[in-house]
């Protein structure tokens, strides 16, 4: 929640407003170019909206699997993965679902189990290959979590400065299967916020079916307005 007087473009100077990040389009102006890689560019160009929602494509569960796939293709072309053999299965878009990142990075899995998951995808590989794929998954998910944490840290620190506080205690609602199901994503986000905004005490609260409830609320309001109009 932010003081209304600190929210530009909204009339009024009393009360508070709940901030909805909606940060997917952050970076569409090129401000994230220094953080974007050739693999991000490949995923963006193959998407239905090239050049749009650039931040979302770097952090969202919808895209992380594709980032991993493009990295694996590159490593294969360099001859350091899959013995340099081009695997047709790996050419298939969206074969590497983001849920596999959560499974592969689970602390309870031994390397042989990671290898079994990848073989089920039709990727014949050695133990060394499995280890490299694991490290790629870890790097991609860690970057996504740290970018999320950096975004949250920037906002809560701005709120603290606006209020002139030495320390800010604030709650942040989070939704999404990646945050909920990935074994390390939530802790990496929280750790990044603590590092970048040490004077803010942030409590993360998971929302249950936020999109579904939001849609239901909008529908209810629309129906209510329609009834008032008829009256």
User: In this predicted structure, what is the pLDDT of residue 211?
Assistant: 57
The CATH fold assigned to 2-206 is Hexokinase; domain 1 (3.40.367)
Domains in the chain: boundaries: 2-206
Q: Given pLDDT bands bounded at 50, 70 and 90, which one contains residue 212?
A: low
Which residue did the predictor score with more confidence, 67 or 224?
67
> Among residues of the chain, what percentage have pLDDT more than 90?
45
3 state SS of 113: helix
For 178-202, the pLDDT digits (tens) are 898 899 999 999 999 999 999 999 9
Burial annotation 145-170 (CB, 10 A radius, 16+ → b, else e): bbbbbbbbbebbbbbbeeeeeeebeb
Q: Give the lowest-confidence range in 167-171, 172-176, 215-219.
A: 215-219
Closest CA to 58 of 167, 171, 139, 129: 139
Decide the pairing of beta strands 2-3 and 200-206. unpaired
Other beta carbons less than 10 A from residue 181's beta carbon: 15
Residue 135 pLDDT > 90:
yes
Give 134's DSSP letter.
H
**pTM score, whole prediction:** 0.83
User: In this predicted structure, what is the pLDDT of residue 37?
Assistant: 95
3 state SS of 25: coil
């Amino acid at each position: 929640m932010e003081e209304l007087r600190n929210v530009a473009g909204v009339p009024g100077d009393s009360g508070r407003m709940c901030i909805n990040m909606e940060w997917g389009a952050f970076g569409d102006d090129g401000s994230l170019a220094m953080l974007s890689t050739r693999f991000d560019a490949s995923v963006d160009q193959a998407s239905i909206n090239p050049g749009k929602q650039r931040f979302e494509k770097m952090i969202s569960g919808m895209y992380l699997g594709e980032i991993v796939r493009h990295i694996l293709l590159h490593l294969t072309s360099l001859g350091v993965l899959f013995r340099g053999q081009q695997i047709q299965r790996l050419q298939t878009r969206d074969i590497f679902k983001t849920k596999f990142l959560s499974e592969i990075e689970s602390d309870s899995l031994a390397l042989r189990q990671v290898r079994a998951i990848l073989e089920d995808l039709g990727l014949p590989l050695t133990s060394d290959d499995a280890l490299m794929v694991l490290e790629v998954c870890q790097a991609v998910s860690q970057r996504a979590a740290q970018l999320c944490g950096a975004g949250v840290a920037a906002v809560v620190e701005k709120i603290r400065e606006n209020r002139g506080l030495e320390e800010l205690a604030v709650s942040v609602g989070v939704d999404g299967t990646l945050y909920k199901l990935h074994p390390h994503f939530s802790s990496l986000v929280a750790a990044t916020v603590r590092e970048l905004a040490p004077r803010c005490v942030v409590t993360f609260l998971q929302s249950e079916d936020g999109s579904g409830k939001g849609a239901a609320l909008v529908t209810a309001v629309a129906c209510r307005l329609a009834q008032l109009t008829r009256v």
